[in-house]
Amino acid sequence: MMIWIGLAGVLGALLRYSLGKVVSRKLGTSFPWGTWMINISGSVILGMLYGGHQAGNLPDEIWVVWGTGFCGAYTTFSTFGYETLTLMAQQRQTRAGIYVVSSVVVGVLGCLAGVWITA
């Protein structure tokens, strides 16, 4: 199972990097849209996996491989922290606050939506 988790992690990391670059190029970097969108979509995906697993429709192995491997590598708390500190260092406290609050609130709501979709 460890190999499958690792392979799913590789896929998640590559998708995170690629999507982050595309979003940043399209929307700019004055707000960390790439990381925000990745973390929110990752929350929805993890919620869907959790909902499917809790409903008995997703085997333990799939839950662990995709939840831990893919979602763990796809989403990024470290970049979220770094980008928040960067916004604050640039004297963009309001933007940093919006980033933090919206990431947490919308992320949790996204996870709940994912559970709802699959339950």
Chain centre distance of CA 100 = 14
Contacts of 5 (CB under 8 A, 6+ apart): 64, 65, 68, 69
The reply to whether 72 sits in an annotated binding site is yes
The reply to whether 84 sits in an annotated binding site is no
Chain centre distance of CA 80 = 10
In 10 A of CB 27, how many CB atoms? 14
Distance of alpha carbon 64 from alpha carbon 71, whole angstroms = 10
Annotated binding site for Na(+): 72, 75
Annotated binding site: 72, 75
